[in-house]
A = this chain, B = another copy of it.
Amino acid sequence: KPQNERQKLPVVPQGIERDEFLKALAELKSQLGDEHIEINDKPLRDGWYMEHPNTHDSMTILDEEEFVASAIVYPGSTEEVQQIVHWANKHRVPIFPISMGRNLGYGGAAPRVRGSVTVDLGKRMNKILDINPEDYTCLVEPGVSFYALYEALKEKGLEEHMWIDTPDLGGGSVIGNTVDRGVGYTPYGDHWAMHSGLEVVLPMGEVIRTGMGALPGNNTWQAFPYGFGPYSDGIFSQSNYGIVTKMGMTLMPNPGGYEAFMYTFAKDEDLEQLMEIIRPLRISNILENVAQVRHVTQSLAAIGQPRTRFYSGTGPVPQEVIHAAAAQTPLGDHSWAYYGMAYGPSHIRAHKLALIDQEFKRIPGARRIDPATLPEDEYFWARERVARGVPDIHELRWVNWAPNGAHIAFSPVSPIRGRDAMKLFALGKRIHEQYGIDFFPAFCVGLREMHLIVEIVFDRADAEQKARALGCLRDLVDQAAREGYGEYRTHLVLMDQVAGTYSWNDGALMKFNERLKDALDPNGILAPGRCGIWPKRYRGRGWEM
């Protein structure tokens, strides 16, 4: 993708004089050391997943100068994070914390407010502070990736003793993913539910430890999440109320065996019956992990070939073309693929797999795929690795669907019901067709609900495509909300819109969120606008988008 000229750098946050801002930065440099602050005055480079920028969103759907940092600061300790926060309050500079900044599809490393100073925690604060094989827990800093945690277990010879849980891409940080309430695919997939204990620097600079961490000399910070009194961890997820500098995470004991399995279903309409079959099996833990139910279009894209390899026309690739191409793959033609995993010793697995087979086979045309028939490079094996906690990046491949491929996600929450699945599928399909965009639906089935994850892949260098993708997303969010489906998480660009859909009782929840924000961050310096929460200084001044 061609690089833009940049001018008048760094971008200064609105409301501050350039001179004063540069003086303030110089002051911060003198406090933390020159080498720990970088002014963002060079060309913006998108890099790739493993060498992603911390200056902006490398998959931006807007102009890349829109959500751009003025500078990046690298604290080396909790005390330095506190210093940065004090500095921000003194100079009224918006700061935006990231752990590793690999939040691709949801905004990458970008701050919501142009010209914010990005606090890149992960670069220097990247230690695994504890691994406890007796309690099956760990304590990590923001720069610890799923890969790094997995490698550390291996180094200690513990990777057979206990498993981590990783999202589809293993390069993100345990903390960044968890505070954004990300999900993985072992039985420990609900990361937020699985954490235990936070250390948080508050927007005024105080530092607290939650749960048992507040008891000096305690021995259960990672073993018991609640502590005594209000359980406050939750308000530090998907918010802008604090900077998490340490987090405890529980780890899964080796279940004593595992076996990945896969089924395909022939028709789009099979989704309805499939979801009715899945629900009771999932709630009763016969289906034990957050499984993915993927549409054939995305299965095909996961091969990693550009869409032009299958189709040279404009508009969505016709479904006949998709099916014909799928028929040539090792999976064969299908409409939906279910990727699952059974855990435990073989006789326990056999019990569950038999039940599953009996139920899934009630759907005419259901096929169990024998993994032995699948080549090593098949996407199935990526899912298999992830479902046993082995970090991977195969999932990136479908981004190749478009040249300069980037993506942005629509992820509404739905009951696990046939009629809801069909309704969301139809809604997504209709709106995608309207905007001429290929439709990639995958249902991630939680315990009592599922997230539909729709990824829109677009060419970052093509302004028209970006505008269409954004229009499509905005319609998806609004129309889904009208039917009662709300996003579980969203991209920076959509945060105001999504927050606006959670409007019960005249927006009472947002008023409550704002009240907390103003109490904790009276100067409004911490990640203004994140998750739609604007501090007082910004409210009513047209910042929403």
Which of A374-382, A388-396, A464-472, A501-509 is the contact stretch? A501-509
CB-CB under 8 A from A533, the residues of chain B are: 229-230
CB-CB under 8 A from A531, the residues of chain B are: 228-230
**CB-CB nearest 4 A-B residue pairs:** A519-B519, A231-B234, A230-B239, A214-B502
CB-CB under 8 A from A196, the residues of chain B are: 448
Chain B CB within 8 A of A226 CB:
yes
CB-CB under 8 A from A279, the residues of chain B are: 134-135
Chain B CB within 8 A of A260 CB:
no
Report whether A232 and B229 are in contact in the complex, using a CB–CB cutoff of 8 Å.
no
Q: How far apart sit A333 and B504, CA to CA, in the bound complex (Å)? A: 60
Selected from B136, B216, B238, B416, the residue in CB contact (under 8 A) with A504 is B216
Task: Give residues of chain A (186-234) contacting chain B, Cβ–Cβ below 8 Å.
Answer: 192-193, 196, 202, 206-210, 212-220, 222-224, 226-234
Report whether B513 and A415 are in contact in the complex, using a CB–CB cutoff of 8 Å.
no
CB-CB under 8 A from A231, the residues of chain B are: 181, 192, 234-235, 237-238
CB-CB under 8 A from A511, the residues of chain B are: 206
Q: How far apart sit A223 and B505, CA to CA, in the bound complex (Å)? A: 21
Once A220-B413, A508-B207, A519-B516 are accepted as A-B contacts, the answer to whether A227 and B502 lie under 8 Å apart by CB is yes
CB-CB under 8 A from A503, the residues of chain B are: 214-216
Enumerate chain A interface residues (CB-CB to B < 8 A).
134-137, 181, 192-193, 196, 202, 206-210, 212-220, 222-224, 226-239, 241, 250, 253, 255-256, 279-280, 283-284, 345, 347-348, 351, 413-417, 420, 446, 448-449, 481-490, 498-499, 501-505, 508-513, 515-516, 518-520, 531-533
Once A234-B235, A502-B227, A503-B214 are accepted as A-B contacts, the answer to whether A484 and B449 lie under 8 Å apart by CB is no
Once A508-B207, A519-B515 are accepted as A-B contacts, the answer to whether A499 and B229 lie under 8 Å apart by CB is yes
Report whether B209 and A504 are in contact in the complex, using a CB–CB cutoff of 8 Å.
yes
Report whether B504 and A214 are in contact in the complex, using a CB–CB cutoff of 8 Å.
yes
Selected from B202, B222, B483, B512, the residue in CB contact (under 8 A) with A208 is B512
Selected from B135, B501, B510, the residue in CB contact (under 8 A) with A448 is B135
Report whether B213 and A504 are in contact in the complex, using a CB–CB cutoff of 8 Å.
yes
Count this chain's copies in the assembly.
2
Report whether A215 and B481 are in contact in the complex, using a CB–CB cutoff of 8 Å.
yes
Report whether A214 and B509 are in contact in the complex, using a CB–CB cutoff of 8 Å.
yes
Q: Which residue of B lies closest to A284 (CB)?
A: B253
Q: How far apart sit A255 and B487, CA to CA, in the bound complex (Å)? A: 32
Q: How far apart sit A509 and B228, CA to CA, in the bound complex (Å)? A: 10
Can you list 14 A-B pairs with a CB-CB distance of less than 8 A? A134-B417, A135-B448, A137-B448, A206-B512, A218-B486, A219-B485, A224-B413, A226-B238, A228-B531, A230-B241, A230-B533, A348-B348, A348-B351, A519-B519
Name the distance in Å between A477's Cβ and chain B's nearest Cβ: 11
Report whether B413 and A508 are in contact in the complex, using a CB–CB cutoff of 8 Å.
no
Report whether B238 and A235 are in contact in the complex, using a CB–CB cutoff of 8 Å.
no
Name the distance in Å between A337's Cβ and chain B's nearest Cβ: 24
CB-CB under 8 A from A499, the residues of chain B are: 228-229
Residue in A220, A236, A283, A511 with the greatest tally of chain B CB atoms within 10 Å = A220
Q: How far apart sit A59 and B519, CA to CA, in the bound complex (Å)? A: 39
CB-CB under 8 A from A417, the residues of chain B are: 134
Q: Which residue of B lies closest to A238 (CB)?
A: B229
Selected from B181, B222, B345, B416, the residue in CB contact (under 8 A) with A226 is B181
Name the distance in Å between A181's Cβ and chain B's nearest Cβ: 6
Q: How far apart sit A420 and B135, CA to CA, in the bound complex (Å)? A: 13
Name the distance in Å between A231's Cβ and chain B's nearest Cβ: 3
Q: Which residue of B lies closest to A520 (CB)?
A: B515
Once A484-B218, A512-B206 are accepted as A-B contacts, the answer to whether A229 and B239 lie under 8 Å apart by CB is yes
CB-CB under 8 A from A214, the residues of chain B are: 502-504, 508-509
Report whether A501 and B348 are in contact in the complex, using a CB–CB cutoff of 8 Å.
no
CB-CB under 8 A from A512, the residues of chain B are: 202, 206, 208, 232
Report whether B483 and A217 are in contact in the complex, using a CB–CB cutoff of 8 Å.
yes
Report whether B219 and A415 are in contact in the complex, using a CB–CB cutoff of 8 Å.
yes
CB-CB under 8 A from A513, the residues of chain B are: 229-230, 232
Q: How far apart sit A51 and B181, CA to CA, in the bound complex (Å)? A: 44
Report whether A235 and B232 are in contact in the complex, using a CB–CB cutoff of 8 Å.
yes
Name the distance in Å between A101's Cβ and chain B's nearest Cβ: 21
Selected from B220, B234, B420, B490, the residue in CB contact (under 8 A) with A232 is B234
CB-CB under 8 A from A483, the residues of chain B are: 217
Report whether A229 and B134 are in contact in the complex, using a CB–CB cutoff of 8 Å.
no
CB-CB under 8 A from A446, the residues of chain B are: 224
Q: How far apart sit A159 and B482, CA to CA, in the bound complex (Å)? A: 35
CB-CB under 8 A from A228, the residues of chain B are: 238, 486-490, 498-499, 501-502, 531
Q: How far apart sit A210 and B104, CA to CA, in the bound complex (Å)? A: 27
CB-CB under 8 A from A226, the residues of chain B are: 181, 192, 237-238, 488
Name the distance in Å between A255's Cβ and chain B's nearest Cβ: 7
Name the distance in Å between A433's Cβ and chain B's nearest Cβ: 25
Q: Which residue of B lies closest to A482 (CB)?
A: B217
CB-CB under 8 A from A510, the residues of chain B are: 229
Q: How far apart sit A130 and B143, CA to CA, in the bound complex (Å)? A: 44
